[in-house]
Amino acid sequence: MRILVTGGAGFIGSNYCRFVLREHPEDEVVNFDKLTYAGNLENLREVEGDGRYSFVRGDICDEKVVEGVMGEVDTVVNFAAETHVDRSIQHAGAFVDTDIKGLYVLLGAARKHDIGRFVHVSTDEVYGSIESGSFKEEDAPSPSSPYAASKAGAELMAKAYERTFGYQILITRGANTYGPYQYPEKVVSLFATNALDDIELPLYGDGMNVRDWLYVDDHCAGIDVVLREGVLGEAYNVGSDQERTNLELTREILKLVGKGEELIKYVKDRPGHDRRYSIDGSKLRALGWQPRVGFEEGMKRTVGWYRENEAWWRRLKDGSYRQYYEEMYANR
Ligand code: NAD
Ligand code: DAU
């Protein structure tokens, strides 16, 4: 396969590029990325000399450029998105553009070029919050944030392309993902790097919101199984069954960094903050996938990586990041 990986310079996308090149020696990867603040070619240093890997800078909303690159591949995995919930609450425009219009542009070009297998990487956030039990793939979307609404909108566009044009793709809905190369705005990478620097960890609300924690290699493997084995037109949850409250997560990070709980600062809650995410992953498990890295092991590897790769995140936490951090956390 010659796979177009959009958003391949971001967190999960860059891990996925490495995953494919390692696990599938017959495949080639074309990484197509706009290089927003979250895109970083340093994430791909290991593979940039690999003859099966190439990079094209571009915007998935740009029909002309997408049209050109689509003609050179036979498969698509779409990671490209604006992804941070807090940023979507401040300014939703880029989320609507990339997450909805971007998929619309990709679908049009993919249909024209008869792309046989196309995975759109979506999120468990499209379901919204659930008090008890777990969402199944047929449950209706009920997004809370502008980010989640944009991801849900994209999924509906894909469904419309199936019903109107008969063009079928595959969708994955992944849980909260953590691991190496995550931009230090999401809770795990932010708290690990803050703790290493003795900076307060801003815990939203009462710290009792629950997320299901999925190690990035497991997420990549799940997406890959869907790409190769999934039934066209279907959606698949990628869950880990590793639910923790944010307070439990924070304590685990502090323990691994070797810092005390005095670094925790309870701050004003995120507006529309979903209380609990939980998805039923049995449909994907029936295809032979299962998560291999448990919460404690995954957190140990992750905190270890941020400890050993200080230069990577220190460069990101400079410059415009400082302004972002001050604006985001100033009045909390
Ligand atoms: P990320 O923010 O780390 O990376 C996003 C990448 O997309 C960046 O490289 C960025 O430059 C690129 N990009 C943004 N806009 C673009 C555009 N218009 N054209 C081309 N490239 C563009 O994101 P991530 O956390 O790696 O998430 C990847 C995908 O997985 C997203 O679709 C996200 O919704 C989904 N997802 C993420 C998680 C998670 O916990 N991180 C969980 C489930 C699903
Ligand atoms: O569930 C999948 C989703 O997980 C992905 O689709 C998103 O792209 C990804 O960003 C993530 O969304 P969350 O909003 O769940 O992740 P975040 O890391 O921003 O927050 C995780 C939890 O931690 C959430 O309950 C809010 C809380 N939090 C977050 C930050 C950034 C804090 O308490 N303090 C913080 O500073």
Indicate if 63 belongs to the active site: no
Contact 326, 204 (CB under 8 A): no
35-59 residue pLDDT tens = 999 999 999 999 999 999 999 999 9
Q: How much distance in Å is there from the Cα of 7 to the middle of ligand 1?
A: 6
For 107-126, what is the mean pLDDT?
Answer: 98
Torsion of CA 131, 133, 137, 139, to 10 degrees: -50
181-207 residue pLDDT tens = 999 999 999 999 999 999 999 999 999
319 has a pLDDT exceeding 90: no
55-69 residue pLDDT tens = 999 999 999 999 999
18-31 residue pLDDT tens = 999 999 999 999 99
Ligand 1 site-directed mutation target among 35, 36, 105, 169, most atoms within 8 Å of CB: 36
- Ligand 2 surroundings by CB, under 6 angstroms: 83-85, 123-125, 175-176, 186-187, 190, 202-204, 209, 211, 246, 270, 277
Indicate if 198 belongs to the active site: no
Q: Dihedral sign for Cα 149, 155, 157, 160, please.
A: negative
Q: How much distance in Å is there from the Cα of 329 to the middle of ligand 2?
A: 14
For 242-270, what is the mean pLDDT?
Answer: 98
pLDDT at 331: 80
132-171 residue pLDDT tens = 999 999 999 999 999 999 999 999 999 999 999 999 999 9
* Nearest of 215, 221, 207 to residue 249 by alpha carbon: 207
Contact 148, 255 (CB under 8 A): no
Ligand 2 site-directed mutation target among 79, 82, 85, most atoms within 8 Å of CB: 85
Burial letters 246-284, b for 16+ CB under 10 A, else e: bbebbebbbbbbebeeebbeeeeebeeebebbbbbbebb
Q: How much distance in Å is there from the Cα of 27 to the middle of ligand 2?
A: 33
Cα within 13 Å of Cα(309), Cβ side: 19
- From residue 256, alpha-carbon distances to 112, 149, 200, 296, 302 in Å are 50, 35, 16, 10, 10
- Ligand 1 surroundings by CB, under 6 angstroms: 6-7, 9-13, 33-36, 38-39, 59-61, 79-83, 98, 102, 121, 123, 151, 174, 176-177, 183
- DSSP of 130-163: -SSS-B-TTSPP---SHHHHHHHHHHHHHHHHHH
Average pLDDT, the chain: 98
Tell the residue nearest (CA) to atom 34 of ligand 2. Answer: 203
* Nearest of 203, 331, 211, 330 to residue 261 by alpha carbon: 203
Q: How much distance in Å is there from the Cα of 109 to the middle of ligand 2?
A: 32
pLDDT at 224: 99
Given the residues 82, 125, 217, 252, the one annotated as active site:
125
Contact 104, 98 (CB under 8 A): no
pLDDT at 85: 98
pLDDT at 330: 85
% the chain with pLDDT above 70: 100
297 confidence band (pLDDT: 50, 70, 90):
very high
pLDDT at 84: 98
Indicate if 217 belongs to the active site: no
pLDDT at 292: 98
332 confidence band (pLDDT: 50, 70, 90):
confident
Show the domains of the chain with their CATH numbers.
2-177+214-238 (3.40.50.720), 179-211+242-269+296-322 (3.90.25.10)
